Structure 1
Amino acid sequence: MMGALEKPMFQNSTLLAPGIAGAVAGLAVETGLYPLDTLKTRLQSAQGLHKSGGFKGVYKGLAPVAIASMPGAALFFVSYETAKALTEPLVPPAFVPVAHSGSAAIAELFACLIRVPTEIAKQRKQTYVGVDKRSSFSILYNAYKLEGIRRGLFRGYLSTVARDLPFGVIDIPIWEWLKEQVRRRNNGEVTSFQSACCGAAAAIVAGTVTTPFDVAKTRIILAEVEHTSAHSLRIQTVLRVIYREAGLRGLFAGCTTRVIALMLGSFVFFGVYEEVKSIVEKKLKDQGTI
């Protein structure tokens, strides 16, 4: 038997299960709950719900999101499980949630590299802004041509990170903590349904707290190039403008729709993730891969 120092900390097969499970879970959520996300985006846009399209065309922009959701979610869980495996042994049991928060933060930073360009194409199609009749590829190419990579394809990266990183830092540790409570009461077992319920509960808390950042991110992504400056696209500037124009109601625009979508999405996401991960791990064990 190899010594502890000689054992590789990770094998490709170890990360295969969370990668596949994350990809399937991401696809399931995006395709199933896309209409709710469209309505939330239109509620948060500067034009408002009806001028942004109302209840028509709620599946606009689905294709690129469905495609990108798979590598995005896979990258998130591979990053999360890797960071979690590295950090958990280094902290005492009382500080395990801190390790989970840090791991979720790292995972969000990586996942946003795929998520942000997808969000740009998706939200501009959802709200009929300027180039709504063009394909998602044309929207991204036009953004690149006008503003380059950083301000075009990755416009809103920091605001997306400002929304998703706090969300993950709150959501994932609550999900893990709730699962641990279930595990203690269920002879060490957590079913995919129970994990789904834990995920839904965690999403309610995290979704509510991070809504203002989501509103700011939406405004930044939807801002038209000709009428905006770099300063006006800063997160703090956008938040101040929204608060000045509409107060707390403006900062929490679309909150109910967003939280409902996140709750349902997290239920599906974590339930599918645990189920698929369990199936893949069983197959790998049967094959002697892990």
Structure 2
Amino acid sequence: MGLFGNFVAGGLAGLAVDLCLFPLDTIKTRLQSEQGFFKAGGFSGIYKGIGSVLSGSIPSAAIFFIVYEGFKAYYSIYPPGSTSEAAVQAIASALGAIAACIVRVPVEVVKQRSQVSLDSTKSSLDVFRETVAKEGYHGLYRGFRITVIRDSLFSLLEFPIWEQMKTFYAVYYGLEKTAPLAGACLGGVAGAISGFLTTPIDVAKTQMMLADSDALATKMGLLQSLVRIGGQGGLPGLFRGAVPRVCWISIGGFIFLGVYDSALTYMSTVAV
């Protein structure tokens, strides 16, 4: 099965999460936008931007898991639960996140601009064309560095926590392997912790992607953006949208990692 299995399982997992939890993601984006929640659309049109996600969720998730599992397999010499194994998992997850951003960032830019657009007739394709017309193709990679930092830091936290919890769970209950349902629950916990801690970076990334090309937010690095946001709204400003983000990621972690484990288990059974 190998990397092809990781590609299929990862793609299915990414698509399942994006389809199920898109409304929560829209609410989070609107809460974080500088124009404010209700001016960005409030609770109306919460599926705006779904087209971009459907086109990008499968390849970005698949790329992540190919890199993640490939790196882990190459350095699979360390005993389960060891510090060295956790370090390999952390590096593998960060590299996977960086690779996935090549696809994920353009999708995020189009999706988030669609989510806050007040023009109900504007599709994801329209937003894509408008972005390219105004800013060129490099406009689709607005906030790339911040997204890489956010996603790699998130993955550095989430996947080692998830993998180690699965190992400890299996050892505690005397199991050879953690069942997909238990792994999904542990994935939700790992996602909630990682999602909350990386919320300030997510706020900075969202505001950079949504800003006009000549706005101040587009000219700042991550630290400058965090200082600006903190200066305007204090600590609550840095954690705007934390509740829907944590809900989205914890439920998403349950679905994403549960579907991934289930798909791998099913494919390994069929292969046998």
- Tell me, yes or no, whether TM beats 0.5: yes
Q: Is contact 1:196-1:267 (8 Å) kept?
A: yes
Q: Is contact 1:212-1:251 (8 Å) kept?
A: yes
Gap runs ≥5 in structure 2: none
What is residue 191 of structure 1 aligned with on the other side?
Answer: 179
- Do the aligned partners of residues 146 and 228 (structure 1) sit closer, same or farther apart at CA in structure 2, a change above 3 Å counting? farther
**How do 1:229-248 residues align onto structure 2 when only pairs under 5 Å count?**
231-232=219-220, 234-248=221-235
Counterpart residue type for residue 277 of structure 1: L
Q: Is contact 2:211-2:218 (8 Å) kept?
A: no
CA separation in 2, counterparts of 1:19 and 1:199? Answer: 19
CA separation in 2, counterparts of 1:144 and 1:121? Answer: 10
TM-score under structure 2 normalisation? 0.94
1:173-201 CA deviation, whole Å, 9 max, x = no partner?
00000100121124212111001011011
Other structure's SS at 2:136 match: helix
Over 6 Å off, 4+ runs: none
**How do 1:41-190 residues align onto structure 2 when only pairs under 5 Å count?**
41-89=29-77, 93-128=82-117, 133-150=121-138, 152-184=139-171, 185-190=173-178
1:13-57 CA deviation, whole Å, 9 max, x = no partner?
311111111111111100000000000000000011111111100
Q: Is contact 1:231-1:237 (8 Å) kept?
A: no
Higher Rg of the two aligned structures: 1
CA separation in 1, counterparts of 2:7 and 2:93? Answer: 15
Name which of 245, 249, 253 aligns with 1:262.
249
CA separation in 2, counterparts of 1:168 and 1:189? Answer: 22
CA separation in 2, counterparts of 1:227 and 1:133? Answer: 26
Is residue 2:264 matched to residue 1:271? Answer: no
1:138-169 CA deviation, whole Å, 9 max, x = no partner?
3223322322333x011111111111110000
What is residue 29 of structure 1 aligned with on the other side?
Answer: 17
CA separation in 2, counterparts of 1:117 and 1:132? Answer: 21
CA separation in 1, counterparts of 2:57 and 2:68? Answer: 16
1:91-130 CA deviation, whole Å, 9 max, x = no partner?
893311010000001100111111100011110111116x
Is residue 2:190 matched to residue 1:219? Answer: no
Counterpart residue type for residue 227 of structure 2: R
How many pairs does the alignment contain? Answer: 270
Percentage of matched positions with identical amino acids? 37
TM-score under structure 1 normalisation? 0.88
Is residue 2:194 matched to residue 1:209? Answer: no
Deviation of 1:235 (Å) = 1.8
> What is the aligned-residue RMSD (CA, Å)?
1.7
Other structure's SS at 1:225 match: coil
